[in-house]
Amino acid sequence: MHALANPARFLRFARPATGWLLLIGLALAVAGMAAGLALTPPDYLQGETVRILYIHVPSAWLGMAGWAGIAGASVSQLVWRHPLAAIAGRAVAPAGATFAAICLITGSIWGRPTWGTWWEWDGRLTSMLILFFLYLGYIGLASAERERGGEGRIAALYGLVGAINLPIIHYSVLWWRTLHQGESIGITGSSIDNSILWPLPLTMVGFTCLFGAAALMRMRAELAEAKVEARMRRLGA
């Protein structure tokens, strides 16, 4: 992390990494989605709607991972004053918000034929909706702080406090046994049959690479904007 604290060194890593992440991400996400739509059998209970799993699960993971990234960047900024931490937090937020929105929308679309409802104020759904609103708040707060010339400490504190929601989302299906099913995929194994499960790692890795590419592009944009602002200040002085 500290090796990349220098913006020039970071850009030497970020420029080639952006293209590779885009290429690998597109290839894996397209392959995984195609396999999920055409090659896997329908589930004995859910039928064809089980195919939504291949986009819903990666988007849920990325919605949560994005906020974990913001929390990590916040710690890095508040504790070690890492020069790129605030930029990283601001760069991750739009991607995290997008995938949290995809998770909510695809979950709602899956819920209609499966549960018979588009929405239910269930623990998992509600805590995920809160995460989406936290992202919107973070984006607004961080950009307002940046415009006022702040270092982003208030946004960093907000990012840390918001991380409380992550374990709530994770354990919501255990704490409140309402509509959303319990954990079906864990670190040690899965209750889903392998004939259905196998394209999921492709979309998980694929969308994660695309998330990384989007975050790197936003970081590069922020660094270039900062360079322009510094140059304009020097020219004006």
Per CB under 8 A, residues contacting another protein are 22, 29, 33, 37, 47-49, 51-52, 55-56, 59, 94-95, 98, 101-102, 105-106, 109-110, 112-113, 207, 210, 213-214, 217-218, 220-222, 224-225, 227-228, 231-232
Query: Distances from the Cα of 187 to the Cαs of 105, 154, 190, 211, in angstroms?
Result: 26, 34, 8, 22
Q: How far is the CB of 77 from another protein (least distance, A)?
A: 21
Q: How far is the CB of 213 from another protein (least distance, A)?
A: 7
Q: Which two tokens stand for residue 172?
A: 């919501």
Q: How far is the CB of 113 from another protein (least distance, A)?
A: 5
- In 3D space, the residue among 66, 12, 35 whose CA is nearest the CA of residue 200 turns out to be 35
Contact 135, 92 (CB under 8 A): no
Query: For 51, left (φ over 0), alpha (ψ -120 to 50), or beta?
Result: alpha
State the DSSP code for 41. P
- In 3D space, the residue among 164, 179, 20, 153 whose CA is nearest the CA of residue 78 turns out to be 153
Q: How far is the CB of 1 from another protein (least distance, A)?
A: 22
Q: With respect to another protein, which residue has the nearer C-beta, 174 or 231?
A: 231
Q: How far is the CB of 171 from another protein (least distance, A)?
A: 26
Q: With respect to another protein, which residue has the nearer C-beta, 81 or 227?
A: 227
Sign for the CA dihedral angle at 96, 180, 133, 165 comes to negative
Q: How far is the CB of 48 from another protein (least distance, A)?
A: 4
Q: With respect to another protein, which residue has the nearer C-beta, 5 or 109?
A: 109
Q: With respect to another protein, which residue has the nearer C-beta, 193 or 229?
A: 229
Q: With respect to another protein, which residue has the nearer C-beta, 51 or 82?
A: 51
Alpha-carbon span 40 to 141, nearest angstrom: 44
Query: Distances from the Cα of 109 to the Cαs of 45, 68, 78, in angstroms?
Result: 17, 26, 40
- In 3D space, the residue among 156, 153, 227, 131 whose CA is nearest the CA of residue 219 turns out to be 227
